[in-house]
Amino acid sequence: MNEGVLFGVLIFIPGIILFLFPPKEINYIYGYRTPRSMRNKENWEKANKYSSRLMIIFGLIIVVISLVFKSTILNLISLGVSIILIFILVEMKISKN
């Protein structure tokens, strides 16, 4: 299996799990855990809901990129960019509160 497909799946599957089974309470084990997301229940719920959707989307994008461009470097770059973008987008979303 192409490593890019594996990278995409490793982001997609946790996104699906987080989407289907969001954490009920703020905790240090499961969910999107940053100081800002854990500040209050509203941030926690919004961050987990939004990050799960982004993980699903970016996971699929990584799979497509890896199938179209069979480049290890491009796969690693797309993985890194995706992780950074997920973090930035979620933090921007919850900082509006």
pLDDT at res. 71: 87
Segment holding 50, helix H or strand E: helix 41-68
Residue found by looking up tokens 């990129």 in the block? 65
pLDDT at res. 72: 87
Q: Assess contact for 66 and 4: CB atoms under 8 A.
A: yes
pLDDT at res. 70: 84
pLDDT at res. 87: 97
Mean pLDDT by 10 residues, the chain (97 residues): 87 97 95 96 97 97 92 91 97 89
